[in-house]
Amino acid sequence: MDGKGNSFYTEVPAKLSPTELQMLMELEVDAFPGLGAVDEQTLVPLARYGKIIFYKEEGDSRPIAVCEIMRDYQSPSKAYIFGYYVRSDKKGQGIGKKFMGEVHSIIKQDGFSTVCLTVSLKNKAAVTLYEKSGYQIIETRKSEFGAGEDRYYMEKEL
């Protein structure tokens, strides 16, 4: 429960139903408009071989936030956050910070000691959230996802 009486919880599906898959693709497009949101070709393997974490609110059938995680094979004690977003109608309510704390707990429980991610230099709100959550900018990766798609690479020790 938060201070407003809302009850939040995490859910980690081992696989995605067709309904969940469709819902996630819609949430991806909402979260990353025009940026090439992931589809079933990425979401299905992420759920089976990585981890997708839903952050849910009692009474809402759709996740209010989603985190997609992979293991870094170059450094197996490091988790890579592939995708992290809060549903557009829930932004600005402190959910991103609360959910990040839950994500860190799950990652640590899974045996990881470091977590990393990349984020667009233009996404100031996300960069601020990650910095407030203890991430440090390690480097700027030029054209990480194509020409002009520069990203900060950020890490946090758990």
Please report the DSSP string for 101-158 in residue order. Answer: HHHHHHHHHTT-SEEEEEEETT-HHHHHHHHHTT-EEEEEETTTTSTT--EEEEEEE-
CATH of residue 50's domain is 3.40.630.30
The neighbour count for residue 82, using CB atoms within 10 Å, is 17
pLDDT one-digit tens code per residue, 57-112: 999 999 999 999 999 999 999 999 999 999 999 999 999 999 999 999 999 999 99
Does residue 151 sit within a domain? no
Name the pTM for this structure.
0.90
How many distinct structural domains can be found in the chain? Answer: 1
Q: Give residue 45's domain range.
A: 8-113
Does residue 149 sit within a domain? no
Does residue 32 sit within a domain? yes
Q: Above 90 in pLDDT, residue 157?
A: yes
Q: Above 60 in pLDDT, residue 150?
A: yes
Cα distances (Å, whole numbers) of residue 31 to 1, 14, 122: 25, 22, 14
Does residue 97 sit within a domain? yes
Does residue 27 sit within a domain? yes
